[in-house]
Amino acid sequence: MPALRDIALTVEERQPDQYFWVLLEASSSDAAEAIHYSPIQTAASAQASYASALVMGANALRKLMEATTPAGSRGAG
């Protein structure tokens, strides 16, 4: 079974009405009270709304997980 990855999705508004989704992965840290994340994937182009960028980012996360998870080990859903 592959190791679980701690991946987060966030949306950044880099300029007014320019929203980019970003996938972040937790990196190891000695600090128990903080989690450090590094970007692993980001949108190539901006979306006009936060909601649209969030949906596009969730789709990118789903595709990433499908590409890295063996077909037999995926849960139903």
Domain ranges of the chain: 7-69
The helix (H) or strand (E) run that includes residue 12 is strand 7-15
pTM as predicted:
0.79
Residue tagged 């190539």 (tokens)? 44
Task: Give the model confidence (pLDDT) of 20-32 as tens digits.
Answer: 999 999 987 676 7
For the chain, the average pLDDT equals 87
Spatial CA neighbour of 68 closest among 40, 36, 39: 40
Contact 22, 12 (CB under 8 A): yes
Contact 49, 19 (CB under 8 A): yes
